[in-house]
Structure formats: C-alpha cells, structure tokens
Amino acid sequence: MEEASAYDMDSDEELELEKAALAMGREEEGEVKEAKVFTYNVDAIHERLEDISRVCHLPWEDTLVCTSSDAEVMELSVVHDDTERELKFYDQASEAVRESIEKFDESGHKWRRPDDYLAEMVKSDQHMKRVKEKLLYEKKLAEEQEERRKQREAKKYAKQVQAEKLKERAQAKNKQIDGLDKWRKQRERDGYDEMGAEDYEEAMATAFRKPKQPAGTRIFSGKQKSKARQARDKKFGFGGKKKIQKQNDATSAADDSGWHQGKFGKYAPGRAKKAGVAKKKKGQLRPGKARRQQMRGKK
Amino acid sequence: MAKDARAGGELDVPGKARKGKRDLEKVLLLCTRGVTHRHRHLFQDLMQLLPSGKKENKLDTKKDKDVVNEIAELKGCTSCILFEVRKRMDLYLWMAKTPNGPSVKFHVQNIHTMAELKLTGNHLKGSRAILSFHGAFDEQPHLQLLKELLSQIFGSSTKKHQKTKPFIDHVFNFTLADNRIWFRNYQIVLSDDRSKTNFDKMQLVEVGPRFVLNPVKMFSGSFKGQVLYENPNYVSPNTVRADERRGKSSRYVQKVKAKKRRKIHEEKNAKAPDEFADLWQEHDLSD
C-alpha cells in the first residue's frame, strides 16, 4: 500500500517519513513474532489423554461416538462457501447416523422413540408454531415471485406476437399495392381495352383479397367482445361516420312513435295501473284546498 | 489400541466397579458476569441439550478461576463448561475436567442460537445424541485430547442419568475446518416405517445451536497448570479490532500525506504568469 501510493516523489522528507513508517510496522510485527514461542507439549498431552480417556474403554452403545472416515482438511474456499461447508457437515453427520443406526439394528437394541411417547421437546410448541409460520410465509413469497415472473414473461411474449402481427399487416398492404400497380401496367400494355370489365373485378378481387393466414397463427381469433364493449358499440356505433347519422332528417323529424307524455309524471304509461294507487278517472281532478278541508270536516 | 483397552476394562472387575461411578458425568454450566443476550441464549441452549448439565449462579470473578473447581466439587460435577465474556462482546468458553484437568480455553465465534427461526428442527429433551467427529480429530495429539473432552462432556454416556431418555433422535456434529471446531446439531427425521430403516428417506434437519470453537490454550490442570498446547493461528479479537482501527487511521494518514505532497508539487511547479492574461481586459477598456 505504501509503495502504491508513493508516486515518483523525490522529496527527501517524504522518503524519510515513509521509511520510518515501514520500519515501525516491521518492528511491531517482528517483535511479537520473534518473542512468541507456541507451546506444544506432545508428551504431556499423551499423558493426560491416558489419564482421562474413558470413551475407548466403554462399549460403543454407551458413548455413541462415531468418527468419520474423511480426515481431509477442508479447503479454505469450501470453508468460506456457506452452502458447500454446510453440505460437508451434513454429509459427515448423516454418515455417522447411518453407521450408528446400522449398529443398533444389528444388535437389536431399541432406539426409536415410540409414537405414543410424548415428552418435553427442546423447542416449545409456541416456538415451533412461529417456525412454521415463517416457513409458510417464505413459501408464499416465493410463489408470488414466481407468479410475477410468469406474468412478466407472458407480457414479453404478447408484445412479440403483436409486433409480428403488425409486420404481417404491413407486408399484406405492400402486396396489395404491388398487385394494383401490376394490374395498371397490364392495362396500359393492353391499351386500355375496355372489354376487361370482368378482369377488373377479378383483378381487384385478387389485389385486395386478404392473404391467407396459415392455420394456427391467429392468436386472438377466439376472443369475444366484452359486454361493456358490445353495449358501447351499440350506443355509439362502431366505425364509419357518426356526425351525420345522428342528425335528424325529414323522416326522423316526422316520426313521433317514440314520444310519450312524461316518463315519470302522473300521466306516465302504466302509472295508473300500479297497485296501491287510487284509480282516477280521466276527467276527475283534484278538488281545491277549501273544498278538501270542508270534506275533511265532514268526516 | 481401543480394542485392547476395552478388553482390559472388561476383564478388570474391580476397575469396572470403580468406573461405574466415574462414568456418571455431570457437567457444571456457569458463566461470568457481563454476558450479552446472544451468549445467554447459547448458554440456555446448552442447558437444554445436556441432560447431565447443572446450572450454577453467575461467577463474579474473572481472575480466580480456582473457585470453579470448588463449586464443581460442591455440586458433585466431574466436568465444567464456563462462559467467560470479555468486554461484553468476546465469548471464551472453557471446558474442563474438574478437579484434575485437563482444561481448554476456546474462543467462540459465529454463534447462532436455537431461537433462530431458520433452524427448523426439534427433538426430544434429554434424548441421547450421536456424536459425529471429523476424521482429522484422530490425527494430532491435541485434537485427540479435544475429542476425548468433547465426547465426555457432550456424550449422554449412560442410561444412568435421571433426565436421559433412552432414545436417539439427534446428532451432534463436530467438524474440523480452518483450524476450528464447528458444532452443529441435527434432528434425525426418518420415514414412518419402523420395521426397516430406510436410509434413502432419512433426513437431517438442523436444530441448532451453531457455533465455532477456536482453541486458544490447553492446560494440564483444570483452569490452571502446565500449558499443553497453544494455538499459533489464534488471533485475539482485540488484535483484530486494533488492526481494523489502524487500517482506518492509516487511511487518514495517507490522505494527509497526499495533501502535503500536492502542496509541495504545486510549489515546485509554480504556474508561469500568463502574458496574455489581461489582453482582453485592455482591449475592453480601450473600447
């Protein structure tokens, strides 16, 4: 780092400073390393091991100690890779489990917990519930993510299909124009012979005929208009000129079939027929206020 | 060697009777003051996992660890796990055979407790554990000693313990990697068919806790005595932190240096005065 940052400096002061810094660093590291001698007293270790060793004196069923056949030192790259490291641990553990279960099965010892043996577990039910909830939540998240991904892809595909369709349409148009030009030239060559009236029809038909779509290429053929779209089409019309259509002309002005006197008033059609409303004859009018009060008084 | 020893042990009748008492392993679990929540959780997890565990009040002193031997004797324990916390962040774990040793001091790293939700397994409290050791444990003397210690302390050795249940549903895994001991605890999940064990359907689900033990020193006595082993690869967390700080400060030093260098450079290569600098000014004035 020191060398990297020191460019082509020729200041004496600077050089001295850096030398001093380097020397200081070396001193600090060097002193400690030289002074330290790490103890490794093999004889004493063996002695102590013999003193306390018990595991090898006991039958295996009492200790359940398994040692894996793999004595390889794990590489640092593996140690720092979480997945690979855990996989190694898992393999070692599962080897030990397999070995010991086989031993147990051979000797005929019972080792499995009966299904009806219920006892306290290391983790409480409450905690396990939380664990389960978290797992479910994670699953849900994963599913949602998958759904979003699928939608994104479908959108991409639809876009591609649309582009293809537009391209096809442009091609068809060009073809039609070409056909028309060809027909014109043909006529010119023929000297505008008028007997080709049928030819004209035919030529037009060939020029403007829709190109045949190969089977299975139409994507939206089965799609129907939605109800809302249908209603709007009916109301506002679909395609073509709208302005003139909506203007009155002589016949429509004279047509009064749709007219009736008030839709919601008391003379509305069907109003009189409604149950619960008192029947009124045509000429019968409501009496004036004074007369009504008089009538009330009589009662 | 193991075979001979076992044969010898079986023949030796008085020895066997004596051993019966020695077999009853009781582990004293205690910690010093100043533990953080994570250390406390790990402590509780170990209490859960070891049916032979005995809990004791927090230790007030960090210097005089001989007290621990006395406590162990009072409690009738044959081994001890001591959590020593320094600076409220560094956890050192002592494992000792009391009262005569040996003992080991580990630095504990990468702690994940059982309370973490990503460890989804569960097993019976007090069931026996299979102890799975990495093959490398047999290759060096100090590792052999460590293996013996670990298997005595973590092994649910006999059926004599009151709290031990005679079933097997989990495995303690000790692997040696990067000169450290990595601890994992898996639940054994098997298919429902009891008549025949199907290993293809066997699954291990991690229960926790997880931790990494970095051996620092081994002593011949318990918490004292002759040093048997010192880890040459061990770097104290204090040193790590100091280095980090030094790295940061050196960044500042370099920045200051660069500034100084720039200043000297500018002084040496002073800009020559521009002869056309006020040309346009004069021109403007004349207008």
**Looking at chain B, which residue has its C-alpha nearest residue A4?**
B254
- Asked which of B54-58, B69-73, B221-225 is least confident by mean pLDDT, the reply is B54-58
Q: Helix, strand, or coil here: B116? A: coil
Quick one: average pLDDT of A152-181? 94
Q: Helix, strand, or coil here: B63? A: coil
Residue A94: which of B101, B134, B202 has the nearest Cβ?
B202
Mark yes or no for CB contact A78/B171 under 8 Å: no
Half-sphere exposure of A292 (CA within 13 A, CB side): 5
Over residues A188-236, the pLDDT tens digits come to 888 776 555 566 677 677 666 665 666 555 555 556 788 888 888 888 7
Residue B101: which of A42, A48, A117 has the nearest Cβ?
A48
Distance from CA of B93 to the nearest CA of A (A): 20
pLDDT of residue B180: 94
Q: Answer positive or negative: Cα dihedral of A220, A224, A229, A233.
A: positive
A133 vs A122, A136, B34, B87, B118, CA distance in Å?
Answer: 19, 5, 34, 37, 11
Identify the band that residue B53 occupies on the pLDDT scale cut at 50, 70 and 90: confident
Percent of chain B with pLDDT over 90: 56
Residue B6: which of A56, A70, A72 has the nearest Cβ?
A56
Over residues B242-259, the pLDDT tens digits come to 998 888 888 888 899 999
What is chain A's length? 299
Kindly give the pairing relationship between strand B127-133 and strand B165-177. Answer: parallel
| Interchain contact B232–A (C-beta under 8 A) | yes
At a CB cut-off of 8 Å and minimum separation 6, what does B183 contact?
B172, B173, B174, B209, B210, B211, B212, B213
Mark yes or no for CB contact A67/B138 under 8 Å: yes
Distance between alpha carbon A201 and the CA centroid of its chain, in Å?
53
Over residues B148-157, the pLDDT tens digits come to 999 999 987 6
Amino acid identity, position B44: Q
Helix (H) or strand (E) holding A173: helix A125-189
| Interchain contact A20–B (C-beta under 8 A) | no
Q: Is the pTM of this model over 0.90?
A: no
* Tokens 């100091």, residue located: B242
Distance between alpha carbon B4 and the CA centroid of its chain, in Å?
34
Distance from CA of B59 to the nearest CA of A (A): 26
More confident residue, B181 or A283: B181
Over residues A9-66, the pLDDT tens digits come to 445 565 566 666 655 555 555 455 567 889 899 999 999 999 888 888 888 888 889 9
Rg (CA), chain A: 49
Helix (H) or strand (E) holding A141: helix A125-189
Distance from CA of A218 to the nearest CA of B (A): 49
Identify the band that residue B4 occupies on the pLDDT scale cut at 50, 70 and 90: very low
Q: Chain B interface, mutation test: which of A74, A91, A116, A122, most B Cβ atoms within 10 Å? A: A122
Mark yes or no for CB contact A89/B175 under 8 Å: yes
Amino acid identity, position B263: K
Pair B152, B25: CB distance under 8 Å: yes
Residue B209 reports pLDDT greater than 50: yes
Residue B185: which of B137, B135, B123 has the closest Cα?
B123
What part of A 50-69 touches B (C-beta under 8 Å)?
A: 51-59, 62-69
pLDDT of residue A238: 73
**CATH number of the domain located at residue range(s) B27-240 in this protein:** 3.40.50.10480
Over residues A52-100, the pLDDT tens digits come to 888 888 888 888 899 998 888 888 999 999 999 999 999 999 999 999 9
Q: Chain A interface, mutation test: which of B132, B185, B210, B243, most A Cβ atoms within 10 Å? A: B132
Task: Give the largest Cα separation in chain B, rounded.
Answer: 125
Distance from CA of B101 to the nearest CA of A (A): 8
Residue A89: which of B1, B118, B173 has the nearest Cβ?
B173
**Sequence ranges of the domains in chain B:** 27-240
**Looking at chain A, which residue has its C-alpha nearest residue B177?**
A74
